[in-house]
Amino acid sequence: MMADLPEEIEWRRETGQLPYRAVLEEMELRNRAIAAGDARELVWLLEHPPVYTAGTSAGEGELLDPRFEVVEAGRGGRYTYHGPGQRIGYVLLNLSQRGKDVRRFVHALEGWVMATLADFGVESWRADGRIGIWTRDIDGSEAKIGAIGVRVRRWVTMHGFSVNLAPDLSHFTGIVPCGISEYGVTSLARLGIELAPEAWDEAMLHHAGDFLDDIASACGETNA
């Protein structure tokens, strides 16, 4: 772990796969504890066994083949797949102390993922009307490489982002990913970049300060 990360946040990294339902339960408990002032904020990097998660806007017709467990996630957004080879970041921050600007938080979260992808030579961007992180696939078309889904309770954020390092991309065909059928899904491995989860985590943590600064700027704060 990097020594200069702020101590008011717990920075947790998992090397094994954690079941989605267990993590969701722990997030909900931690959300309440942070809001009550009984626990530190949390950034949690991990991986799940295969699972489809449904956000609050998920449509019935978007679940095409429920070959894996399907879990109501309670986050914003629609259906998403999580599984081996995908790095997940759950970000639980107290926005009541960070400007109470949810839009700014989501924008900063997207920027954090995009800055990390750039470290590995991947240009990525936001797309109007399409949630997530987008890049150019091997055939030149636009494709999603990262997903964003958040929930805010008691002004404490939950859920976060996922980035496709080297998942089985065929698993995404069981759903309409994020309700967008006209664009594909890609990964770093498909783009020819082999990357261990540990290397991704280290790069993300390198940009963590910038991410927190982006949120703080919403309320005129700095780290100075």
- State whether residue 86 is helix, strand or coil: strand
Query: If you search the block for the tokens 């404490």, which residue do you land on?
Result: 156
One-letter amino acid of 153: R
Please name which of 198, 67, 100, 204 lies closest in space to residue 146, comparing C-alpha atoms: 204
Instruction: Specify whether 178 is catalytic.
Output: yes
Catalytic residue among 24, 27, 58, 178: 178
Burial class (CB in 10 A: 0-12, 13-18, 19+), 57: middle
Distances in Å between the Cα of 74 and the Cα atoms of 29, 88, 201 are 14, 16, 26
What is the SS3 assignment for 105-116?
A: HHHHHHHHHHHH
Residue 166 structure tokens: 């080297």
Strands 70-72 and 86-92: unpaired
For the annotated catalytic residues, the residue numbers are 178
